[in-house]
Structure 1
């Protein structure tokens, strides 16, 4: 799965912009190929698991899919055991997840899929503590990256310019690097930097189902369920997620699509919860002790910057994670897509080093972005294919006959799996990125879904 035996070139240096999970996983694979790796982060990363200003989405329920967990374990051996020792909860996706689709309960089923459930800050902090102990890794915290530096011909990156936050009109500093990887997320400024250097910025595709989250933390009890009521177009625009996490807490996230949004006041929050077709859900949270006020989040549109289709590449700079592919978090793919991106980068660098030194990045940007686009095509199609079924996202969009046929098939599959464990496991394997979506078109699966 993961090449870990690469020899680095003395003096070679890579910079990662952004210290979230995507940035730190990227930094980890770069240690295989570069003598030094520097992570630049705007926030001061906490020593303990805490919510931070630069990651407002971290307050909401996150699910690390099984494929993502496998990759992170390969990057940081023993990480899963460490998380569980810190209070993360091992969960079987068939026996312990209460799944509702379109208001119908999916009956418990036998599953091979085991995941570890925690808050995002716990996972992020565990990775941070592991990463910073690796030889050659350093963090520059509290810095804004202001641009790229290049050679005189503006053909390759030579580093970055940066400024310490909160220092007024302090002069910009420069940091030399052989490779710069932008993992700064949805707010990435890489398109503007490329344009300022005379390069065409990537075109963008956006699909917005107007997804909104509202999350509140409660005291967990012995009977707290793990619950996912999945919104389903066109009639079920509301949903929820309940996950038990470390510290005897549970995260309750209310979901709305197509313009639906849970109110922030307590009465409105509870009324929204009561409207969901999930027996016992409202009673569970009414009886629970709230530990926080509700927190909202709405920046959830799918947005793809087409770095794979640029006519000309600035050598030595790459985009990864949400900087390249930002997906609607309602489908829980983000952290796993970030892990797949890191794995893809490792593979590309390994292949690149067979014909070039660690300081020669010629051709890497084109190769990497095109390869990652292929890797991310499935998650993108899953997220946008579902979101385009909502009226607010589908204005002017008319699915072709094949797409309509596939949509009708998946509607039948989701209904049939409510009391068919084999179908539910097949769907879960795809949802956890352990198998490709095409596996759901195996004749045995199709026959059971349509009979």
Structure 2
């Protein structure tokens, strides 16, 4: 009888359990919070109140791990939209013209997804999800070189009541509050090196009933025109149940407020008529939430001088991204696929554990680069790639309206589908071609945001004018 223990019952833990179900006789998921049958919020996932996105690469992985998941979500009210048609990129109110790109995206809240995913995973043979159970440490063989299980404590019990749960594999998927480094330290392992990039951003999300401002898109709008210059932006998205989420993010003096009047004023500064119209519906009775932990943190477990057999770390406990980029759930899904591939081999040869942990770390490399190359420009130690990434992003944002190929390549990169999407000759030409030198009478010398190909949002809005390395 083989058993895997997964620490944490959120998205990363559920996907890890789905990945391991075919290789182990029993998969036990231990979740610290009490889990209800509804979609209510819980203490362990404070970010669930905010806009969430499963990128296309992640949605593909989830569908392989849990076939039919997308259709189940659609049947329960989570629409599938084409990103080019119904989730539009906006540059201070000038939006990309709608066009079919063949990039389907499903829109939902975090809890809507998690409750349905939990039901699917609990129905898998051999999988048990046990809530109100906190893992307090790792159990190991005498030399500490092989993990043999965990110690766990039921909610409300004293430390003396902790029980030992044997396991042939332990997966830490406990997220941002992971204590894996402490658990390993108690077994004599050195602390892992850690890299932190903190742009000082925070965000605020308001929840509304369905709003006419999104009727033109049917999906949402992502306003990024002032992100490079000021570190602020916004998202308006229609999710399940005729609900709309409006998110504003910013840094320093631009950090958004939960005060409705200030929220509306900050939305107007972005210059997007859609975001402005949505924000105007925010009033004293509107549910509105803030979240300030928008940091990037990478724990370099894969570089530790030694690593125990039968223990791996996945999800935010391994690498945490600024949620503004929406990468966390997708990276967790990709890592779950790696777990599925490597699980049977670990049972035969536990010595492969370190190679698997390194593979899981590699999954974070491209998302980490995309997030930190942008965020590090607000720190005391900007990445050497920041100037190039700024130029590249600005070039793409200002030109995607005039090129379907560049628009698609831009989204494929952000959705972690094809990091090399700009190798498409037509996309590359649209990116690099010189701007026209001639202009018609009355036309400005250089059209803003890619010229007349951009579609001006239908009403006007007011426009607004430190990396830490721990080693």
> Structure 1 segments of 4 or more deviating over 6 A?
288-291
Q: How does 1:164-243 map to 2 (within 5 A)?
A: 164-221=154-211, 223-224=213-214, 225=217, 226-230=220-224, 232-243=226-237
Q: Secondary structure at the match of 1:228?
A: strand
Residue 307 of structure 2 corresponds to 313
Q: How does 1:147-166 map to 2 (within 5 A)?
A: 147-166=137-156
Task: Quote the Cα distance in structure 2 between the aligned partners of 1:310 and 1:180.
Answer: 18
Residue 409 of structure 2 corresponds to 426
Residue 143 of structure 1 corresponds to 133
Task: Indicate whether 1:272 and 2:266 are aligned.
Answer: yes
Alpha-carbon distance change, 380 to 445 in structure 1, aligned in 2, over 3 angstroms = same
Task: Indicate whether 1:283 and 2:306 are aligned.
Answer: no
Alpha-carbon distance change, 278 to 117 in structure 1, aligned in 2, over 3 angstroms = same
CA apart distance, 1:258: 5.0
Q: Secondary structure at the match of 1:14?
A: strand
Residue 371 of structure 1 corresponds to 359
Alpha-carbon distance change, 280 to 246 in structure 1, aligned in 2, over 3 angstroms = closer
Summarize deviations over 1:330-369 as a string: whole Å, max 9, x none: 111111111001011112224x25xx53xx52231x1112
Task: Quote the Cα distance in structure 1 between the aligned partners of 2:284 and 2:14.
Answer: 32
Task: Quote the Cα distance in structure 2 between the aligned partners of 1:145 and 1:77.
Answer: 30
Return 102-111 or 193-202, whichever deviates more: 102-111
Residue 373 of structure 2 corresponds to 385
Alpha-carbon distance change, 266 to 398 in structure 1, aligned in 2, over 3 angstroms = closer
Residue 106 of structure 1 corresponds to 96
Alpha-carbon distance change, 69 to 290 in structure 1, aligned in 2, over 3 angstroms = farther
Residue 6 of structure 1 corresponds to none
Residue 414 of structure 1 corresponds to 397
Task: Quote the Cα distance in structure 2 between the aligned partners of 1:406 and 1:227.
Answer: 23
Task: Indicate whether 1:399 and 2:370 are aligned.
Answer: no
Contact 2:246 2:278 in 1 (8 A): no
Residue 362 of structure 1 corresponds to 351
CA apart distance, 1:103: 5.4
CA apart distance, 1:273: 1.5
Q: How does 1:23-102 map to 2 (within 5 A)?
A: 23-101=13-91
Q: Secondary structure at the match of 1:413?
A: helix
Task: Quote the Cα distance in structure 2 between the aligned partners of 1:100 and 1:45.
Answer: 38
Contact 1:220 1:288 in 2 (8 A): no
CA apart distance, 1:443: 4.0
Alpha-carbon distance change, 214 to 405 in structure 1, aligned in 2, over 3 angstroms = closer
CA apart distance, 1:222: 5.2
Task: Quote the Cα distance in structure 2 between the aligned partners of 1:242 and 1:230.
Answer: 12
Residue 426 of structure 2 corresponds to 444
Relative to total residues, which structure has the larger helix share, 1 or 2? 2
Task: Quote the Cα distance in structure 2 between the aligned partners of 1:232 and 1:349.
Answer: 45
Where does structure 2 lack aligned partners over 5 or more consecutive residues? 434-471
Task: Indicate whether 1:344 and 2:338 are aligned.
Answer: yes
Task: Quote the Cα distance in structure 1 between the aligned partners of 2:338 and 2:277.
Answer: 45
**TM-score, length-normalised on structure 2?**
0.86
Contact 2:54 2:326 in 1 (8 A): yes
CA apart distance, 1:110: 2.5
Alpha-carbon distance change, 283 to 408 in structure 1, aligned in 2, over 3 angstroms = closer
User: Which of 287, 293, 298 pairs up with 1:299?
Assistant: 293
Residue 4 of structure 1 corresponds to none
Contact 1:104 1:418 in 2 (8 A): no
Task: Quote the Cα distance in structure 1 between the aligned partners of 2:247 and 2:227.
Answer: 19
**TM-score, length-normalised on structure 1?**
0.90
User: Which of 73, 98, 109 pairs up with 1:119?
Assistant: 109
Return 255-264 or 153-162, whichever deviates more: 255-264
Task: Quote the Cα distance in structure 2 between the aligned partners of 1:320 and 1:308.
Answer: 12
Alpha-carbon distance change, 162 to 290 in structure 1, aligned in 2, over 3 angstroms = same
Return 155-164 or 405-414, whichever deviates more: 405-414
Summarize deviations over 1:160-215 as a string: whole Å, max 9, x none: 01111223455211111111000011111110111111111211001111121101
Alpha-carbon distance change, 285 to 259 in structure 1, aligned in 2, over 3 angstroms = closer
Task: Quote the Cα distance in structure 1 between the aligned partners of 2:10 and 2:383.
Answer: 37
| Aligned positions, number | 429
CA apart distance, 1:248: 1.5
